[in-house]
Each structure stands twice: as C-alpha cells, then as structure tokens.
Structure 1
Amino acid sequence: MTIRACDGKGRTTRSSTVVNVADEPRLLAEPRGGVPEVITTLDDFRRMILRFAMADGSVAADAERASGFRYGHEDWLVQFKREGAGIALVDPVVLAEQGANWADFNLAVGDSAWIIHDSLQDLPGFADLGMRPKALFDTEMAARLLGLSRFGLAAVTEHYLGLTLAKEHSAADWSYRPLPRDWRNYAALDVELLIELEDRMGAELRRQGKDGWAREEFSYLLAKGMEPKERPVQPWRHISHINALARDQRGLAVARGLWTRRDEIARHYDIAPSLLLPDAAIIEAAQRKPRNAREFRAIRSLNERVRVHTGGEQDKMFERYAPIQREVKPVVWKDAIAEALALRAADLPVSPPSGNDEGNAPRSMRYWQDHHPARYARLQAARKVINQIADDTRTPADVIVKPQLIRNLCWTDDIRSRDVAEFLHGQGARRWQVDLIAASVTRAIM
C-alpha cells in the first residue's frame, strides 16, 4: 500500500511504499508513464534539460554499454528520471557527434543526489561524458549495508517495493540502432523505481542507525567512480585463469603474445576481444605450445570462428560481427605463437613473486598456514571479532571492512608497533569502519 506522512510542519512528504512480506511480488512490465523514445537531437536534449531543471528531488540514473560486442566500454545509452520530469533515454554517442555539452545538465540538477544501482559500473562512463554528480545514493551499497543477501536491482525492488522488473536484455548489444521498443522498455525500467527505493532504503538506514555509514560509503564511491581509471601495467595478466600457467615462462610469453595481438585487432575493428579469440583458447595454446602446423590445427579454438548460441535474438546480434571475425585468419594466432616461442630467455615474462601481489598480503590461506603460522593465528583472531561485529550489526563482514585490509594488517612484521586505526585509515578504510572495529581488532591481535 502507499502512505503519505507529514514532516512536522503540516506539509505532506513524498509517498513511500509499504510492503507486506506475505504479499506475492507483482511484475512491473513497463514504466507507469509509458516507454519513451530515445533523445537523439540537440533540440530534444535541451528540452530534456529544461524539464529536469524545472523538476526537483533526486535524479535516478543508469547506463547501458555494449560490453561483449564492442572493444570499448563507453555508454551507448543513458537513462534518467526525476519527479516532475519523467524518464529520459539519451543517446550520448550521436549527441556527442552534434556537440552536446553535459555541463548544462549538471547545472540543471545542481546538488541533488544521483541514485544509481552499483555506481562504480556507471560513474566512470558518466565522467567520460562530462557529467559531474555532486552527491550519490547507491542502492546496491545501501542493500549491502542493510544486510540483504541478494542485492541486484530486481531483488532489491522486490524486497522493498514488492515489485519485480521485466529484465530480459541485460546482455544486449546496446550499440545497435534503432533500439527496439522492448529494449527501451528494459532501459526505462532500470530507473523507474530508483526514487522510491531511495525513500524506502533511506528510511531503513536511519532506523538501523546506518545512515551515517551510508553517507560515508556514498561519498567514497562517488569520488572513486569519478577518478580517471588507470590501465594496468601488464593488462594481459588479467586473462581468465592465467594462474594455470603458474611459473611457465614460455607459456606466459605465448599468452602475452596472443593477448597483445588480439587487443590490437580488436581495437582496430572496434570489436570485443572475446569475439576474436576467447581467453580459454589463449590458455590452451599457452599450455600446449604448438610448434608446427599439425599441432596448431589440433587446437580447434584457434582455427574456428567464435560463435555464440543462446537460442534467442542475441545470436543475431553476434552475427553482425561475423564479417569482422572472418577477416581475422588463424594464421594471425599462429604467427603470434611462433614469435613467443622464439623469444630469448631474457625476454620471457617473469611471474610475480608468490604470496605477494602488488604490495598486498597473500590471499592463499594455505600459504599463511604453511609458512607464517603466527600471522595466520593473528588473522584468524581478527576475523573472529569482525564476524562477531557483523552478526551484532547485521552487516556483512566484507562491508564492515575489506578482507584484504585485514590480511595486510596481520601480515605486518612488527604488529605490536602498529596503530590499527591509523593503519586502516592509510589503507582506505572509511571513518565509520575504523571506529567500529579498530579497538576490538587491536585487542584480538596484540
């Protein structure tokens, strides 16, 4: 049901939804105001900005990309909603070609909070376009702080509003034009309920005494999401299951060579690298190291075009990229492998030291137990008190503090000289996290 409350001065506040947990969730098949068209002209863009400037309250925001189809991760559609302005679907790519400037939109919404679900997915793309949110309410982080076991958008709307969303096109190629109506419907639903969620979840955060925690987390996420992303020094080491090559330097050279060549081609054709050569094929080639034509032909994944069979419309989307795939002949991979196998020993990649990754403590508990039992005991003691705090506050332990921070703390050589609160601050923990756990962790590990 829906209720209206007074703010103590006789004014009626915005309505909020109260869900009876016994009720079956209802499907919201499309936005209550209908499915909007996509804004593709500067005149329509300016009219949208005027609507949002004349409205008030928080701004629901979301974005769609073409990951899995295109090389880059730019936004191909951005969605907004504000009370009094309705839902807007915007094509940022075509508008950028016309010289659109998002500074006017920033001015129109002012200091209002942007409501985003899983903001670190969308804020970098917004920053690239020139959007500058001044405040944030992240509904996924709010769900985690409130102890929900499922925190996808559909699960959160079901929990707090008793509504499930029609979600069918999350893996679509959003660079496709024109966007079909059902895709636009999907995109609009992503922002349809965010304002109501902010109302309901904000009230629950206050009830549980976690609204201060949430404000700190939202500020942290906003700052982090708007930072320029740094490209990894060795991006090829992010190949799926690269650890399968362990200390195999020649295998790592093959993987590096294939990844580098694949990346060059993918960038040139603006196609997802995985549509040219899957990571699994790179790992298989690196393990088998084919040295002649017969051995190369025996690795089928290097000789066949990548195909995706979902049994639905997604197959047709992938087929749009078949001409590019056919342009890239297997000999490209064969030559990359041959070059890697011919490298001098001095030019082979060196595996990072085991047990320590970029200054962080090791993640393997077996390594801790076998080689550093005292540190392992210290870590277990710290984990025990954090888990107790998590139970007491009904907050997931990994939200209370990032597990890697506690591993780093317990990896310290001279732990007794360490100020736990100062260390956690230096590692990026928020003030609420430090205030909550520092004293208890200190007693546990000293």
Structure 2
Amino acid sequence: MEASRSTPARTSRHGPDSSDPPSTSTRTQPLTDPRQEPRLQTEPRGGVPDVTDTIAGYHRACEALASASGSLAADAERASGFRYGHEDWLIQFKREGAGIFLLDPVALTRAGVDWNQFNGAVGDATWILHDAMMDLPGFADLGLRPRRLFDTEMAARLLGLHRFGLAAVTEHYLGITLAKEHSAADWSYRPLPRDWRNYAALDVELLIELERLMRADLERHGKTGWAEEEFSHILAEGTSGVPRHEHPVPWLRISHITRLARDRRGLAVARALWTRRDELARSYDIAPTLLLSDASIIEAAERKPRNAREFRAVRSLNERVRIHTGGEQDKMFERYAPIQRAVKPSVWKTAIQEALALPPRDLPSMPAGGCANDAEANAPRAMRLWDRRPERRERLQRVRRVINQIAEDTRTPAEVIIKPQIIRNLCWTDDPAGRDVDAFLREQGARDWQVALIAASVSRAIL
C-alpha cells in the first residue's frame, strides 16, 4: 500500500517554528539487538581484491559479472582535495556469484576498453549506491549507464534514520561497523596500497544485504512507491550530464566572501586571485586550495597590498600551502610540492595589482540579497528579510506548520517531504493564493508523491 494513502500512528509534535523545518524521525527498529556492540568488519569476506587495470582483466571482470545474478553494488573514489577535476580514479562493484572488482577507470580508458561491454554484462540489474548523486555523474562520464537504482542513503532518509551515513546504516540494519580510515585519500596515487584497496572494497561489501533489508522496511512503512520515485529522479538527474549546483559566478563561492560585501575593490582583488588560481590549478591538475587558500584570498582582499613591503607582509601569499593532518595524508600532499613551488608569489602580486588598477566602473559587487553562495535561491533564506514582509513570513510559518504535521503523521522527515526552498519560493510570491499549487510544486521539481501528499493542505494554508 502506498504511504500517501495511509496515515501511520502519530508521534510527538515538533517544537517552535525555525528557519527550516526540523527533521522528523521514522522510528525504524534496528534488525539487530541494540544492546549488543556492533561487530567490526575489517576486511571483505572474500579477501582484498587487486586493482584491475588491463584489458584482459577487464574482460574477465565483465564475464564474471555477466554470469552472476541480482543487484550490483557500486561505488567510486575520486581525488578531491588533491586534483583539479572530479573524475573517478577507482570504481568498485560487487554482485552475488562474482565477488568484488576494483577497476581503474583512468588506466582502462587509456587502454581503450569498451565500457558498453560492462553495461551489457550487468544488463538491467539494479545498481545499489549510497548517496548516488555523488557517483552517478562520474559513471555517466565513463559511459556506464545504470537502468535502475536503489540509493541506500535516500532510503535511510525516507525511513527517518537519525544518521544516514553508510557506516551508521550498516550498524542499524546489520549490527556491523566498517573499518574506514582512508576516506580522504589521494585515490590517483598508484599503486594503491592494500589498506586503501581494503577500504574501497568494504564500501560495496554489504550493500546487497542492505538493499534487501531496506526494501522490506520501506514496504513495511508503506513507502516503496515514494522510494521508487526518488530513485528514478536521482538516476535521471545523476546521469543527465548537467552539472549540479553550478554557480553562475563561481568566484563568489570563496569561503567568507560576504566579509567583502560592501568592499567592491576588495571583491575585485578576490575575483582576480580566484580567477588566476583556477587557471593555474586547471593547467597543473591540482586542487586550487593547494595553490592558494580561500582564507589567503580574503586576507589579501581586505588588506589590498599596494607595494612590495605590504605584499610581503601577507605571509600566506608568499609561502607554499602546507597541509598538516598528522597522518599519512601529509605525505600525499607533499607529492604536489613541486607544482606548488612552480607557482611563484609574483603571480598573486600581479593579479592583485591588476585588480587595484581597475576603474570604478569595472569593479564587481555582491548580488542583491547577499545570496552569494545560493545560486538556486529565489526566495531569501535569511529570516531578517522575511521580517520586512510580515504577511509573507506569516504565510511561511503556516505552511511550515502544515508540513511539520504531515511529517509527524507519515513519520517522514519534513525536508524529505518537500525541499524547504520550494516552500520559501511559494510563500515569497506576490499572490500565492491565486496559484495552482500542484503545478507550482511540479515546476519547482517536486515528485508526484510529494505533490499528492502536501498540495491540498498547503493550498489551504496559503489562503
């Protein structure tokens, strides 16, 4: 039975209204005894696999996966924080009857493999991923095309788990905690150490068991239809080839850029440094923050050094970026020291001088409303702006109370029932009472189950 047609027993009410609706938990019961300590799984049951980076090995992997059955557990690793791009440097798969495979997509692509052979090998199997939007774009870039999806993170959110990271979900359903120590590793490093391969293999080790248990839980709570709509939406979004959340003015994403909101000359310095940093990072294939930190950009923009002495006083512009974690990551970062040393401080000095020499008409300014880091927002998030329009604020509060009540009645987190920004956009319009709420929600990206669940109640609330 669809959850939209049923009303589970109600739980306690939410507290006072806040800037975003609070989460409501679906009180799913763990399938293991909560009094027992979770078991630590340190390695895959079938052992730690090697990395497949040859055409012959790839063919063997495809043959094994084709002869196996059931869903396909999948994951990918990137070199975020080390490399400029976001391409996959390792992809992991598991299927019952075939075991785990670790594939090197960069080496295999260079070797000329046909990724359609992989698509044919797994056919219409459901791909199980955790937080699929992180990995689907990379799979699509390679030419891998899942036909069906089960996202264990989205399932956990729909079921109202308080923690929905992979380790937390495996603890909840299986009583197993995974040994996870290399999440921030430089996955472009070769050869991959055994510990890293072990970490990568554990990411797919338990996904097949999780899918079975979570499907049963979704069915038990009447949310199977909701989940399937969400999975279809995620799959379409993740494989569309359209970049997610691409900011129309990327340099405005500098951390703490709002400190320069009223300083147009400072904004010009920040823009110049960001632009030069991005050009160099792209050409050297290195993470931009390993060349110059955002904090250094903000400091330079505030101080605006106009001569050699003032420039030298901004130490961060004259020193190589060093990352100190106290662990093995330090050695990974040191691999990029030659590139860092190749970028001389004079590069930043020139960029600053050019920005300081701009005529006033060419100076940038902060977007109205200060939403520098929210390219998607139409209605403001800051409640101080809503305070200036009390009728809109009251409307927003009424709708939020309705959403919170539905969240309680269906035992589903409010932010899963509807994206908070959609509700803000609706309530910020001049004449929401004259709107077709169903059509508005769909135009804003709401799924059918969400519209069916809330449209009528929201329509009454905005009158």
TM-score by length of structure 1 reads: 0.94
Correspondence for 1:73: 86
Correspondence for 2:383: 365
After superposition, where does 1:276-287 map in structure 2 within 5 Å? 276-287=291-302
Q: How far did residue 282 of structure 1 move? A: 0.8
Correspondence for 1:392: 409
Deviates more, 1:283-292 or 1:401-410: 283-292
Instruction: Assess if the C-alpha contact under 8 Å between 2:52 and 2:103 holds in 1.
Output: yes
Correspondence for 1:342: 357
The alignment status of 1:429 with 2:429, answered yes or no, reads no
Correspondence for 1:444: 461
Correspondence for 2:8: none
- SS in structure 1 at match of 2:69: coil
C-alpha distance 181-359 of structure 1, shift in aligned 2 (>3 A): closer
Correspondence for 1:9: none
Instruction: Assess if the C-alpha contact under 8 Å between 2:31 and 2:172 holds in 1.
Output: no
Instruction: Assess if the C-alpha contact under 8 Å between 2:290 and 2:340 holds in 1.
Output: yes
Tell me which of 384, 404, 411 is aligned to 2:421. 404
After superposition, where does 1:23-34 map in structure 2 within 5 Å? 23-34=36-47
> 1:292-351, CA deviations, whole angstroms, 9 ceiling, x for partnerless residues?
122212222111111111111110000001111111111111110110111112211232
Q: How far did residue 232 of structure 1 move? A: 3.5
- SS in structure 2 at match of 1:34: coil
- SS in structure 1 at match of 2:91: strand
> 1:351-403, CA deviations, whole angstroms, 9 ceiling, x for partnerless residues?
2121676661111111101x211000000111111111112222111111000
C-alpha distance 71-130 of structure 1, shift in aligned 2 (>3 A): same
Q: Which amino acid letter does the alignment assign opposite residue 267 of structure 2? A: L
Counterpart Cα distance in 2 of 1:212 and 1:283: 48
Q: How far did residue 18 of structure 1 move? A: 4.2
After superposition, where does 1:37-436 map in structure 2 within 5 Å? 37-230=50-243, 231-354=246-369, 360-369=378-387, 371-436=388-453
Deviates more, 1:229-238 or 1:272-281: 229-238
Counterpart Cα distance in 2 of 1:401 and 1:287: 40
Instruction: Assess if the C-alpha contact under 8 Å between 1:355 and 1:361 holds in 2.
Output: no
Instruction: Assess if the C-alpha contact under 8 Å between 1:355 and 1:367 holds in 2.
Output: no
Q: Which runs of 5+ in 2 are unaligned?
A: 1-29
Instruction: Assess if the C-alpha contact under 8 Å between 2:442 and 2:451 holds in 1.
Output: yes
Deviates more, 1:279-288 or 1:147-156: 279-288
Instruction: Assess if the C-alpha contact under 8 Å between 2:81 and 2:287 holds in 1.
Output: yes
The higher-RCO structure (CA 8 Å, 6+ apart) is 2
Counterpart Cα distance in 1 of 2:370 and 2:103: 47
Counterpart Cα distance in 1 of 2:378 and 2:125: 37
Q: Which amino acid letter does the alignment assign opposite residue 386 of structure 2? A: W
Equivalenced residues, count: 429
Q: Which amino acid letter does the alignment assign opposite residue 315 of structure 1? A: D
- SS in structure 2 at match of 1:384: helix
- SS in structure 1 at match of 2:89: strand
Q: Which runs of 5+ in 1 are unaligned?
A: 1-16
C-alpha distance 306-381 of structure 1, shift in aligned 2 (>3 A): same
Deviates more, 1:296-305 or 1:118-127: 296-305
> 1:174-193, CA deviations, whole angstroms, 9 ceiling, x for partnerless residues?
00000000000000000000
Instruction: Assess if the C-alpha contact under 8 Å between 1:355 and 1:364 holds in 2.
Output: no
Counterpart Cα distance in 2 of 1:185 and 1:377: 53
Between the aligned residues of both structures, percent identity stands at 72
Counterpart Cα distance in 1 of 2:143 and 2:370: 40
- SS in structure 2 at match of 1:44: helix
Counterpart Cα distance in 2 of 1:359 and 1:271: 31
Q: How far did residue 21 of structure 1 move? A: 2.2
- SS in structure 2 at match of 1:433: helix
Counterpart Cα distance in 1 of 2:100 and 2:34: 29
